[in-house]
């Protein structure tokens, strides 16, 4: 029997080719397209951040021609990891607009053709340079902003030329000559060769990366003349594409050039790609409103509570915050940092207790509070799947007959998307910021239990002052129905200048000083999305 070379396997690979149902995409309502873009971006970004495994890599590519539109490439330590990725994508709204045209499963591999010593004496005995080369083959990284070519191949098993009838030495000589051709493209082409023997109809999947697509053409063409290919190579379909970042998904679907110029994609699509909110989330069916739940402990803490990133449970999506989402003004086009700067000039704490900016959507409802809570709890269960979600809660008014539904997110765009779903809650009558020229910020306070009643009385005194101030529309102290010590002050003003006048008043300063004694944590002033 002819000797088979030894092999060592590394990461498993999935090449997932998708076509877009462009007719369905064009016919879909704008809101559905926005949701698909954002859920697709989130899924792809978390795959590139390898939020689902200890190690690996992923990349998104546009594909030219009729065979596919998109290619997702994933390298992971196990087939189970890849299986989970497949199922998680199907739970996104983007998946509904795609059809898988083909896929390819393989595992990265090095064989005895590379080095006898590596297999016979062990990795620690070979040259350090060779060891790094082999490790790079087993655990490959996907280059940024590169063209990609993928094709499957097999070694011929014909009557005249049968690769598997050759002696090991003959095969090794042919592979060495084949490698010499490849060396001429060092620095131009990076290749990942993964075995699919027993996995697919072909025996290997070859992925070539290069910054110049003509280099890809040239290396494939030149190797066709090498005997290892000309006599013994059999090839499947070739696919050519270009890598682009998940942030450019909206630009791609809009027919724009990707990768977009730095920063342009997010800016151009801020209006159509609103953050992370929505019904679907990895690991959840995306549906199901709550009913009759016990409020005790529900929702995980007060609305001003700890920032969630960096301490997620094992079932999360990795939950990495966005740094450059769109739209962060305070309700009338005023930039957040401008407002924070003015507060600082007044020597007023600007409300970032844990060093973060967060944004809130506030909707007012005249529905029964218990009924409203049950509806919100169902939505909140879905929001919790998204890494940008901080808190969603129901607050009952002190002086008004309506309740407030507050949803806090890491980005303004995510809060904006959540507002679309929350607006379908029963008996919603208004959204904070729409009733007046300046919605200011939502002011959240967690009060020490012994001071709760005193805090309410003090608010009533402040309310009398507010009622006499120019530009004041309405201010109410609202309590979280799950935690009566968690307070939300909803304040509406005609203009930013009117609110700033109050913030600079002696009465407000005295209240702030007093608040340091009665609050369990520093207040959070949240900009209304």
* Strand locations in 307-388 (E): 359-365
| Cα distance from N-terminal residue to C-terminal residue, the chain | 71
Q: How far is CA 288 from CA 87, 133, 361, 378, 380, in A?
A: 20, 51, 22, 6, 10
Q: Give strand pairing partners of 445.
A: 487
- The sign of the CA dihedral 228, 230, 235, 238 is positive
Q: Residue 65's pLDDT is what? A: 96
**Contact by Cβ (8 Å): 134, 118:** yes
What the block records as the tokens of 282 is 């990895």
Ordered per-residue pLDDT tens for the chain, 529 residues: 677 878 889 999 999 999 999 999 999 999 999 999 999 999 999 999 998 898 999 999 999 999 999 999 999 999 999 999 999 999 999 999 999 999 999 999 988 776 666 777 677 766 677 778 888 889 999 988 689 999 999 999 898 898 989 988 888 888 888 778 877 888 889 999 999 999 999 999 999 999 999 999 999 999 999 888 899 999 999 999 999 999 999 999 999 999 986 444 343 333 333 333 333 333 333 222 223 333 333 332 322 222 222 333 333 333 222 233 333 333 344 444 555 455 455 444 444 444 455 677 888 889 999 889 998 988 888 888 777 888 899 999 887 788 889 888 877 777 778 888 888 889 888 776 554 445 555 577 788 888 888 888 887 887 788 778 887 777 778 889 999 888 887 777 777 777 777 777 777 767 766 766 777 776 666 655 4
Q: Residue 526's pLDDT is what? A: 63
Task: Phi first, then psi: give them for residue 268, nearest 5 degrees.
Answer: -70, -25
Neighbours of 198 (CB within 10 A): 7
Q: Residue 321's pLDDT is what? A: 25
Q: Residue 330's pLDDT is what? A: 38
What the block records as the tokens of 323 is 């740094």
Neighbours of 28 (CB within 10 A): 17
What the block records as the tokens of 344 is 């600082």
Q: Residue 261's pLDDT is what? A: 65
Q: Residue 145's pLDDT is what? A: 65
Residue of 230, 211, 204 lying closest to 220 (CA atoms): 230
Residue of 15, 21, 18, 88 lying closest to 52 (CA atoms): 88
| C-alpha to C-alpha distance for 207 and 224, rounded to whole angstroms | 16
Q: Residue 438's pLDDT is what? A: 52
- Kindly report whether the peptide bond that precedes residue 259 is cis, defined as omega within 30 degrees of 0: yes
DSSP 495: S
**Helices and strands: H and E segment counts in the chain:** 16, 17
Which run of H or E residues covers position 63? strand 57-63
Q: Residue 379's pLDDT is what? A: 86
Residue of 424, 452, 286, 321 lying closest to 367 (CA atoms): 424
At a CB cut-off of 8 Å and minimum separation 6, what does 397 contact?
403, 404, 476, 477, 478
Please indicate whether residue 151 is annotated as part of the active site. yes
Q: Residue 455's pLDDT is what? A: 82
At a CB cut-off of 8 Å and minimum separation 6, what does 198 contact?
none
* Options 113, 118, 147, 151, the catalytic residue: 151
Neighbours of 368 (CB within 10 A): 12
Q: Which residue has the tokens 């953050």?
A: 275
SS3 breakdown of the chain: % helix, strand, coil, rounded to 5?
35, 25, 40
Residue of 528, 434, 442, 432 lying closest to 487 (CA atoms): 442
């Amino acid at each position: 029997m002819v000797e088979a070379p030894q092999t060592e396997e590394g990461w498993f690979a999935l090449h997932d080719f998708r076509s877009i149902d462009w007719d369905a995409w064009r016919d879909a309502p704008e809101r559905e397209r926005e949701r698909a873009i954002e859920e697709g971006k989130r899924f792809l970004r978390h795959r590139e951040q390898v939020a689902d495994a200890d190690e690996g890599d992923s990349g998104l590519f546009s594909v030219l021609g009729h065979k596919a539109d998109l290619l997702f490439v994933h390298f992971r330590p196990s087939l189970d990891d890849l299986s989970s990725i497949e199922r998680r994508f199907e739970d996104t709204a983007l998946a509904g607009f795609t059809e898988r045209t083909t896929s390819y499963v393989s595992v990265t591999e090095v064989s005895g053709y590379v080095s006898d010593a590596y297999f016979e004496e062990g990795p620690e005995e070979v040259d350090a340079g060779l060891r790094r080369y082999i490790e790079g083959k087993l655990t490959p990284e996907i280059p940024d902003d590169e063209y990609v070519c993928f094709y499957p191949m097999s070694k011929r098993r014909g009557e005249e030329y049968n690769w598997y009838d050759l002696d090991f030495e003959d095969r090794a000589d042919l592979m060495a000559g084949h490698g010499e051709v490849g060396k001429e493209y060092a620095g131009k082409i990076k290749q990942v060769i993964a075995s699919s023997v027993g996995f697919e109809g072909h025996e290997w999947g070859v992925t070539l990366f290069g910054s110049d697509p003509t280099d890809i053409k040239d290396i494939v063409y030149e190797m066709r003349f090498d005997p290892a290919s000309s006599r013994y190579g059999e090839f499947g379909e070739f696919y050519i594409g270009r890598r682009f970042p998940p942030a450019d998904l909206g630009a791609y679907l809009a027919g724009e050039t990707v990768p977009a110029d730095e920063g342009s994609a997010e800016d151009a699509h801020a209006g159509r790609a609103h953050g992370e909110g929505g019904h679907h989330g990895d690991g959840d069916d995306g549906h199901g409103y709550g009913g009759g739940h016990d409020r005790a402990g529900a929702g995980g803490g007060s609305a001003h509570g700890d920032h969630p990133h960096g301490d997620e449970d094992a079932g999360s999506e990795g939950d990495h915050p966005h740094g450059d989402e769109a739209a962060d003004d305070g309700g009338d086009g005023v930039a957040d940092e401008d407002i924070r700067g003015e507060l600082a000039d007044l020597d007023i704490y600007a409300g970032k207790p844990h060093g973060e900016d967060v944004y809130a959507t506030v909707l007012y409802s005249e529905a029964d509070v218990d009924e409203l809570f049950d509806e919100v709890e169902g939505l909140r269960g879905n929001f919790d799947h998204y890494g940008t979600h901080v808190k969603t809660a129901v607050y009952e008014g002190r002086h008004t007959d309506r309740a407030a539904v507050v949803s806090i997110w890491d980005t303004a765009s995510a809060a904006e998307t959540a507002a679309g779903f929350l607006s379908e809650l029963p008996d919603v009558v208004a959204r904070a910021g729409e009733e007046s020229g300046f919605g200011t910020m939502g002011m959240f306070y967690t009060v020490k239990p012994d001071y709760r009643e005193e805090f309410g009385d003090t608010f009533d005194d402040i309310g009398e002052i507010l009622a006499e101030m120019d530009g004041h529309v309405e201010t109410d102290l609202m309590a979280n129905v799950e935690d009566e010590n968690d307070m939300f002050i909803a304040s509406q003003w005609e203009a930013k200048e009117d609110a700033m006048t109050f913030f600079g008043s002696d009465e407000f300063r005295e209240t702030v000083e007093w608040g340091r004694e009665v609050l369990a944590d520093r207040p959070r002033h949240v900009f209304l999305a």
